[in-house]
A and B are shown apart, each in its own frame.
Chain A
């Protein structure tokens, strides 16, 4: 597989990555889409981001990503409230294609329950998951 998946991240079955960070002693998570997801979506042209302060439940649509001829939701992997969104994506949505794990992060959430984070896939689990998805095709 030619996609890159960093070791230190957690992953979801909807092809999102989640990174736990400590911000002034508060646990927050950064969320983005994986290299696999950006490759499948193709060139991304627009990202619709949530308002800060919004409370989200796991599985709720957090952002909408558009390529020229497709629209996909980014679903929140955990419960929490939106602390920050990556405003750079408004003008340069291509960051999601070019640098999905760093400059292309999408939102930062204040996580409500850390156990939810622990329950997400590890990189090896996600690799198996992607392999299976590819075989089905």
Chain B
């Protein structure tokens, strides 16, 4: 009743708050240095984008000259003049020879494949970046929104540890671990020597801008330091360097997630302002554009019902506007994620934009629940049955014995059961055709790759 009980709690309350804040800070710091978060999410993003780009390159193989070759309609000299103005990175401008072009195209495809399977992920992610930027920047006007996402993610992936699971790297690491010490790693040394030499040579020849030289050199030195420390350094050095890597990874992962949110946010916010999105007819129009109707009968069918079109139109806007906020609520986020992936799958078919849709699905995948990804991984894994199933390196010894067959192991074991029931992967049959084609809206867009 007296002042005492009132006053007493006050000071401790403040102290407790400070302590709590303090603890939270420390905990946060330890978390972002102590581990590379989201190993499965980054892996699935890596696989998704590498696969999308690889499929694209394979599909366009017959058209590669017309797209990016020296004699493409967007001629070498045209590209040269544009790139002189915007300094975009592309090794294709180093030479106008057809042979060089063929080499770069093959290099890009191989890099995509290497990244897909997670072979020397750190190096291959850089190769992938070089491939993507070289081809896309060579002919920017051939690209659309799908290329735009691939472009950005190629940049981001370089700074993530995206090969820690579901990769050949992870397998190699497990083997090394079983064998004891890390091996001499001749392949790594050769790769490092080759890339280092290539970097020095290109820089000396003046082919790289100072900015790119510094960027590649920093990456190279970082990897070299990591290799050296792993082999010769003490435990503290290893920890410190790994923690640095984790910091970069975690920061970049945050950027990737924010980027996906920005994509949906702006796509949604601009739509809100459009009269057609307001009056509920927007979806009808793309279904009647020659460029977006590979299956006119299907488009006619979808666009035939006013109610359906209005529902899809509104649902699209609501989903896009809402998504960035739902990431703070696991369940709603997962529902919207399924909706968006289904929408993109339908777009792939209805609007004829398979690569754009694949890229968007790959981007969405960064928000997939770990439990679902583990479940997915377990399904893929069931057949091979190698002794050390695809858990992150290191766990095999302690993981539950059931790891190989059943749900993936350990503490996570019970989770997969409750995950989003079906694999919402790619069925395209839902007639939800969200109109988000691979490209900026036509009349207005100064952006969308064009003004590079």
Q: State whether these chains interact.
A: no
